[in-house]
Each structure stands twice: as structure tokens, then as C-alpha cells.
Chains A and B, each alone.
Chain A
Amino acid sequence: MAEVGAAAEHGDSMWINMGPQHPMTHGLWNLKVRVDGEIVVEALPEIGYLHRGVEKISEVREFHKVIALTDRLCYVSSITWSHAYCLAVEELMGVTDQIPPRARYLRVISNELQRVASHLMWLAAYGPDLGILTGLLWALRDRELFLDLIQAMTGMRMNQNYPRPGGVRNDIPATFERDCTKVVKHFMGKLDEYEDLLGSNKTFHMRTKGVGVISPEEGTEWGVTGPNLRASGVACDLRKLDPYDAYDELSFEQALDKDGDSFARYAVRMEEMRTSCDLVLQALKKLPKGPYRMKAPRRAEGEAYRRTEDSRGEALFYVCGDGSDRPYRVKIRSPIFCTMSAVPTIMRGERVADVISIMGSLDVCVGEMDK
């Protein structure tokens, strides 16, 4: 780090704007980096371009109408976000224990399908970041299968509006179990092909190994969560730690790695897709019969929070009610918003060409970051 200090003293460094329109950003935000030659001396994320005021708009809509908004927090991971919101509202209404078993299993299935689709979208974006266009094509091809499943389940490819306080919107079609099993098993075979394409690819290793290391202490201190923190070896999977829905009735291991670099984050996400597929199969097998939704109250009073393991980390909703049929306050904790605060620390001392590899591996989603 000696040269970093020297550059700052002599003022030979220069600022580069990576964004708001840059292929690296995958959305609209700006990373200002100050470089001395190849070395990044300082990095400043500038966010807020996509701020839509979801929290404020929620305050004038009825509880169930907010779901249309939470869907759009992250369009690649709509179900998991609406699901987190519904859990918080159920807690506020005091009906958490009364959710029908079938609804809890359907939520697990829809969440895990969405998680795979979201991770595949990340993989599709990460490939071209590193010059591997095949990654994009393969991942999008397989993502389409999962979107088809979600469409069969919910009626829509994206922005599904599926979870409800008290359960889910509709039951699955009769052929769903057959189709889902077929697709998931097919995809589990495909995952080995990804291993051949990326995991054993020398160029991929050179671009990702030892790059953008997040230490467990640093990651925890800055509030990094999800796959990004598990890649550093911290066991922080909320499906295990704070089980919701039917996760405590299914058996799975959280994916962990210890290196904390871009490659570890890739490996954790790949492993997570395998886990998700396995969870879907288990949940389909155990899927109980019965109603898929209960009648939830319209009004609620008090404060409640719930957190879930979103595709990108810890999603937390803090919802207040004042006894009317609309939330008094909705606070959204977005995992990527917090991860972004760690970016200046992660970037310091890295090479400018690796900025793309690091930011790509963090899986930035601007919609949820800017709310």
C-alpha cells in the first residue's frame, strides 16, 4: 500500500466515473474511482438514480396492494421480496402461526425457483463482464426454463404478484409437479456443465481468484450479507438461523466458502443453486394438501419486523400499523444497499481492471438498492 500513500501525497491520481452508463453497473448508478496508474486509491459509490419512493407510496395503499410495489423492488427476484413483505405483515396482524401448511410449502417452492432464476441472471451478467459470452447465453437459456415454471405457477414471467398476507394467491396447476421435477432434474445436470465452462476455466480463474477479498470481520462490520458474506466463511443463512415457512422441515446445508474473493462468491452461488433445486424437489415431495391461503385481517396495529434470506442477502421489512387498513410506515432493508457501503473498503488497493470483476461478483441490483 506504499504507492497508494505516495500517490495521494503527490496528487498524481485521477478520478474515473464508472457509470452511470457503463456496462459494469448493470443498472443506473455511478462508481467514482480514483486511480494511481492501475491501482484504485479510493472508490465512492453514488446511488439514488432509481429512487422511486416505494416506502412513501406504500403508506397510502392497503396492505395487500403494496405487494405490487415490493414486486418491483427487484424485477429479477420479485417473489422473494414480496414474500418478505408478506411475512412482516402477517407478523403485524398476528397470524403467523395460522398460515396453512400448503401455503408455506408453496412459498418455499416459489422462493427457491425465484432464487435459481435470480442467480442465473447474475451468472448471465457476470459472464460478459469477464468476456465469457457463452455464460450469458447458457444462463439465460436455463433461466427461461425456470421463468416458465414460475409462469405456470403464478401466471406471469416477471413481477408475479404471488405471495399474499395469509398464503399465496393461487394453487399450482395439476401438471406442475411433473413439469417442475423434470426441469429441476434437467438443470441439476446442466450445473455440471457450468462447472466445466467456468469453474475449470483458466481465464476465469485468473480474473476472479484472489480478487476483491472480503475478510469475515470486514464483511460483518460493514453489514455485507448473503452469498457475499458466506463466501468469506460466515454462516449467515437466515433460512437456517431464523427459519420461516417450511424451511425448518426440510434438510439442507448452507453453502460456505472461505476465501472471500470473487471466485468464492461464484462458487457459493453455484452451490446455492444446487441447494435450491434440492429444496424444490423435497418440498414438492412433502407438499401437503389443504387450503393455500387463509383470510388475513384487513387492519393491523403495532410494529413488526421479519427478515428472510433473499437471493442477495438479508432482506428485512419493518412495518408499522396504526389500526387502519394501510401501513403507517414500511422500512425496507436492502442487502445490496448495505453491501454497497462496503465497496470503498473492498476496492482500495485493487487494480482498475478488476473493479468490473469485483462489482459483477457482488450481484448488484439497483432496483432494491435505491428503493
Chain B
Amino acid sequence: MGVAEEVKGELEAKFPKELKSSQVLRPRAIRVRIDRKDLLPLAKHLKAAGFEHCSCISAVDWVTRYESVYHITSWRRNVLVEIVAEIPHDDPVIDSVYAVWHGADYHEREAWDLMGIRYEGHPNLERILLPRDFQYHPLRKDFPQEVDRQYISRRKLGGG
């Protein structure tokens, strides 16, 4: 049994109700899907289990819902856990994991800046890449792009 199955088993035993689904992606990576309210307990458990490195936090706008995706690595056990936390579209708020991994600092600020998801409990949730007085969250799907001036994509944008 590989290390990914091992971690998957551990998480399933510890969070039987909270995990909506869990799957092994590759020999050294698993993906679990949870609701936003279960994020912090899972994060704390992972940190205690040796997952010390927060690789990445991505926010995705699926129009019906938001997702905050966490890639958490353990250097020592050499395995990665991808946590997909679902967020309702009308209330884009989720707990911050800054207290668990300080490396989440800039990722969460970026997700707030570009996608407009509020990370509750972040010590300094300000815009990071865009100017402070910018009004929008441009990575949301309802933020239009200036496609008319794009030479290549214009024709294909109509038909897909």
C-alpha cells in the first residue's frame, strides 16, 4: 500500500462524515472534497500529521459555487493532499488557514484580491497585486474581458 492510500485511510478514519469524497490521484497525491465549515479541523489535523508546507491556495469560480483549493505537502512523508473546499456562491467566505500555515498569507490575499473570497481570520486581508482602490475582483466569471480587441480569439469565441 502506497503512502497516498495510507493518508487517505487516516483521513477517512478521522473525518468519516466531513469528507464528501476522497480519491487517490497519483501514487503520491490524494484529493479530498469538503464543505467550508470543516476546513479548519482538517487543516489542524494535517499540520499535526506532518504536513508542514502549504504549496498553493487557488480560488475557482464555478458560477454555481466557489471553490477554494488547497495543495498541502509533507516534505518528510513526500505526499500531497489536495483539499477542495466548497463555498456557496452568494456568500464567498471561508476560514483562513493563516494560523495553521503562515505560507497561506499571500495566497489568501491574492484570492481575495482577484476572486473576492473573504478569508475570515486573516490578519491583513488587503489587495496585493491590484491597486488598493480597485473596485472589482477580475477573476470572477462575471468580470468581462476585452475580447473584441483580441485578434486571434475573436472568431472562435462565438462558437467555442
Contact = CB atoms under 8 A, between A and B. Distances in A.
Binding partners A and B: yes
B56 A48 contact: no
Given A48-B129, A60-B153, A338 B103 contact: yes
A55 B71 CA distance: 18
A328 B80 CA distance: 23
Interface stretch (A2-10, A220-228, A353-361): A220-228
Classify chain B: how many residues form its interface, as a range: 35 or more
B119 to A, nearest CB: 14
A188 interface: no
B22 to A, nearest CB: 15
B2 to A, nearest CB: 13
B16 interface: no
A60 B103 contact: no
Contacts of B104: 223
A329 B160 contact: no
Given A51-B129, A235-B75, A331 B55 contact: no
B128 A242 contact: no
Given A61-B153, A307-B55, A220 B75 contact: yes
A61 B154 CA distance: 10
A341 interface: yes
Given A220-B75, A341-B102, A341-B105, A60 B60 contact: no
A-side interface mostly: mixed
Contacts of B103: 221-223, 338, 341
Contacts of B61: 329
A221 B147 contact: no
B100 to A, nearest CB: 10
Interface in A66-81: none
A314 B55 contact: yes
A234 B52 CA distance: 12
B52 A65 contact: no
A55 B130 CA distance: 14
A285 to B, nearest CB: 28
Interface in B84-115: 84, 101-107, 110, 114
B106 A60 contact: no
Interface residues of A, number: 41
A60 B157 contact: yes
A61 B151 CA distance: 11
A318 B56 contact: yes
B114 A55 contact: yes
Nearest to B138: A56
Contacts of A60: 145, 147, 150, 153, 157
Contacts of B128: 47-48
A95 to B, nearest CB: 14
B75 A234 contact: yes
B78 A241 contact: yes
Contacts of A328: 60
B46 interface: no
Interface string B55-90: 110111100000001010001001010101000000
A220 B71 contact: no
A236 interface: yes
Interface string B133-151: 0000011000101010010
B139 A55 contact: yes
A235 to B, nearest CB: 7
Given A51-B130, A318-B71, A333-B56, A65 B145 contact: no
Nearest to A217: B52
Contacts of A53: 138
B157 A316 contact: no
A148 interface: no
Contact of A316 (B28, B55, B150): B55
A37 B157 CA distance: 58
A350 interface: no
Nearest to B82: A305
14 contacts: A48-B131, A55-B114, A56-B139, A60-B145, A60-B150, A220-B52, A221-B101, A221-B103, A222-B105, A223-B54, A223-B101, A303-B84, A329-B139, A333-B55
Given A305-B71, A329-B60, 10 more contacts: A47-B129, A242-B28, A305-B82, A318-B58, A318-B69, A320-B60, A331-B56, A338-B106, A338-B107, A370-B129
Q: 6 nearest interchain CB pairs?
A: A223-B103, A331-B58, A333-B56, A48-B129, A341-B106, A51-B129
Interface of B: 28, 52-56, 58-61, 69, 71, 75, 78, 80, 82, 84, 101-107, 110, 114, 127-131, 138-139, 143, 145, 147, 150, 152-153, 156-157, 160
